[in-house]
Amino acid sequence: MIWRSVVGKLAITIFLLVSFVLFILSIFLLEFFKNYHINEAENDMMQTASKISLFADQQSDRSYIQETTELIKTPASRVAIIYPDGELWISSTSSRDLKKLNETWIENEQDLSEVITADRKVQKEIHLPDNDMEIIIVGEPLLDSGAIFVYQSLEVINQTEAETTKIITLAGGIALILTTFFAIFLSTRISSPLIKMRQAASNLTRGEFDTKVPILTNDEIGDLAKEFNRMGMQLKFHINALRQEKEQLSSIVSSMADGVVTLNRNGDMIVTNTPADKFMENWYFENNIKVNLKNQELPTELNETLQVVISDEKEVLREIHLQGRNYVMLMTPLYDQTYVRGAVAVIRDMTEERRLDILRKDFIANVSHELRTPISLLQGYSEAIVDDIAESKEDKNELAKIIHDESLRMNRLVNELLDIAQMEAGHIKLNIERVNLDSFVQRIMKKFQGLANDNQLVLTLDEEFTIPDAYFDPDRIEQVFTNLIDNAIRHTGVNGFVRVIVKNTENEFYVAIEDNGSGIPEGDLPFVFERFYKADKSRTRNTQKKGTGLGLAIAKNIIDTHNGLLNVKSKLNQGTTFSFIIPQRKNSKYPN
């Protein structure tokens, strides 16, 4: 609708304002011209009456006076002469409706009768008694109590007024047409830049911040266009800055290993990252709650902590145990000036740290335990020698041998601790070589054949070589063989067997060491490759040779360094099988 636009409103306002002004002006002009014409007519009639009165006072010939009167008066008027003797004469007129005056009517009109009786002049608008015609009448007294009356109809004045009204109406119509044209022109000039600004503002709402408004004038609208363009540039700058900060914050939150949850006062989750989503999934699973993406329920622990943060306005630290894992949550309030509008919670999975703390404590305890026994033996037997408790040379030699064996055990323990520390720190360096498997395995078997015979068990070898050579570090792999075969022999009883199976293909080097010894309890299987793990002593046949509990951990690290895989299978009192696979050719460490 045109009246809803700025052009229509401004044009209609100007049109109505000019119309109102012209209407008031026309009323005043018409009233002015009406009064002006009446006054002019009365003045002319009064001048005519004065001339006739002066002429009548100087002449006595009434016929001459009447003829002169007919010549002096206007054709549309009448002249009534009342002579001193009371004779009434009325002139002719061109107006058919203008009747003659009645002497009685003149006498009954006080204003008209006073012209004769009181020698007063009169100018009056009055209605004729017979036909109610409105006339203008003026009266001039004569010297000898007579009077001259000149009157005419107002129709002449009305005709003049009608012509004046037509002229004023025509001028007003032309003025309104020009005003309308000017109003539309002016409104268009004003509204055209505003329309462009509206289009530019619409583009800004769609994110088109490069939109420019043309500056067509140097007035206030031009200044507004300049400020609008400046506003667009400022908006673009600030929006880009906010977008960069938002993307940076989103990248930081997404890349964090800790879970981040932003909450409002109502407990609604506003922002979460992947670790936080995983924590939520675990909480829903543990509490048997179905996941609703539209209205996710806030975990009870977080909701309780949020209420404390809002009420106390300080950060709260809390531990949460969920699905066998330990989480530490730090919730900090978010402020809107001095008002707490929500909180941000950082959730860290401390399971691995706690496990490492336990392992570190266990490691210290195990090392202390392993060192305490040989140190106690060294101290005790050395005191026996010093105090001459062993009297014979043979006794002293036996005590010295025990001290020597325990010192070797301590040295072996320390060396193995150093080895495993270097392996776990990644400082181990492999010397990959092409190894002839038959000679390598035969040499290892010969080394343990005597030990197997001493323990009264059968040590056998099964070989299956598609390719005679394999690539690995021979010293480290021999250490793995040694640890695994030595464990098998020590945990296998009399008349038992230890079987070594070696296979080699183009893709992998496979070794398995089987025995029918005491086996490993099912509950201990996940921990056999940890440091200081030892089988129950009741299932160890060779009680004289004590292990350090680091052999399997060292073997596991060596195989891992070769990008291989070490496995164990065991049944209690039925036997154990340790096996490992080392990939060939595909590993970039190996030469082609």
What's the mean pLDDT in 179-184? 79
pLDDT of residue 362: 66
Q: What amino acid is encoded at 411 in this protein? A: N
In a domain, 225, yes or no: no
In a domain, 221, yes or no: no
Structure confidence by residue, pLDDT tens digits, 257-281: 888 998 888 888 888 888 888 888 8
pLDDT of residue 367: 67
Indicate whether 24 pLDDT > 50: yes
What stretches of 219-350 show up as alpha helix (H) in DSSP? 220-255, 274-286, 300-312
Name the percent of the chain lying above pLDDT 70: 88
Greatest Cα pair distance in the chain: 204
Average pLDDT, the chain: 81
Indicate whether 170 pLDDT > 60: yes
395 and 437: one domain?
no
Indicate whether 135 pLDDT > 50: yes
* Sheet bearing 88-90, strands edge to edge: 88-90, 77-82, 147-153, 134-141, 122-127
Which band of pLDDT confidence, cut at 50, 70 and 90, is reported for residue 565? Answer: very high
pLDDT of residue 442: 92
15 and 100: one domain?
yes
Structure confidence by residue, pLDDT tens digits, 74-115: 888 888 888 888 888 988 888 777 888 877 888 888 888 888
Structure confidence by residue, pLDDT tens digits, 203-216: 877 777 777 777 77
What's the mean pLDDT in 135-163? 84
In a domain, 535, yes or no: yes
What's the mean pLDDT in 418-422? 68
DSSP letter at 426 equals: T
CATH number of the domain within which 570 lies: 3.30.565.10
Structure confidence by residue, pLDDT tens digits, 482-523: 889 988 998 898 999 999 999 999 999 999 999 999 888 887
pTM for this prediction = 0.43
pLDDT of residue 568: 92
In a domain, 382, yes or no: yes
In a domain, 343, yes or no: yes
Which band of pLDDT confidence, cut at 50, 70 and 90, is reported for residue 592? Answer: very low
Residue 506 · residue 585 · CB < 8 Å: yes
pLDDT of residue 373: 63
157 and 43: one domain?
yes
- When divided into structural domains, the chain yields a total of 4
What's the mean pLDDT in 192-206? 77
Indicate whether 353 pLDDT > 80: yes
CATH number of the domain within which 380 lies: 1.10.287.130
CATH number of the domain within which 270 lies: 3.30.450.20
Lowest pLDDT segment from 10-14, 367-371, 406-410, 443-447: 367-371
74 and 140: one domain?
yes
pLDDT of residue 509: 94
What stretches of 59-102 show up as alpha helix (H) in DSSP? 62-72
Lowest pLDDT segment from 38-47, 193-202, 413-422: 413-422
Residue spans of beta strands (DSSP E) within 351-507: 433-436, 458-465, 469-472, 497-504
φ/ψ of 340, rounded to 5, equals: -80, 110
569 and 448: one domain?
yes
Structure confidence by residue, pLDDT tens digits, 572-585: 888 999 999 999 86
φ/ψ of 88, rounded to 5, equals: -110, 125
In a domain, 185, yes or no: no
φ/ψ of 16, rounded to 5, equals: -65, -40
125 and 27: one domain?
yes
What's the mean pLDDT in 416-436? 74
350, 379, 407 - which closes a domain: 350
Judging by DSSP bridges, how do beta strands 497-504 and 458-465 pair with one another? parallel
Which residue segment(s) compose the domain that 489 sits in?
Answer: 431-583
pLDDT of residue 294: 59
Q: Which value, in Å, is the radius of gyration of the alpha carbons in the chain?
A: 64
Lowest pLDDT segment from 359-368, 435-444, 453-462: 359-368
pLDDT of residue 370: 62
335 and 376: one domain?
no
286 and 333: one domain?
yes
64 and 147: one domain?
yes
445 and 403: one domain?
no
In a domain, 183, yes or no: no
pLDDT of residue 539: 41
Which band of pLDDT confidence, cut at 50, 70 and 90, is reported for residue 423? Answer: low
503 and 567: one domain?
yes
Lowest pLDDT segment from 78-87, 246-255, 364-373, 441-450: 364-373
350, 366, 382 - which closes a domain: 350
483 and 567: one domain?
yes
| Long-range contacts of the stretch 367-371 (C-beta < 8 A, 24+) | 367/417, 367/532, 370/413, 370/532, 370/548, 370/549, 371/410, 371/413
Indicate whether 475 pLDDT > 90: no
pLDDT of residue 511: 95
Which band of pLDDT confidence, cut at 50, 70 and 90, is reported for residue 541? Answer: very low
Query: 462 or 592: whose pLDDT is higher?
Result: 462
118, 135, 162 - which closes a domain: 162
The DSSP result for 521-579, as a single string, is -GGGGGGTTSTT----GGG-S--SS---S-HHHHHHHHHHHTT-EEEEEEETTTEEEEE
pLDDT of residue 481: 92
pLDDT of residue 285: 83
Indicate whether 360 pLDDT > 50: yes
In a domain, 336, yes or no: yes
pLDDT of residue 390: 65
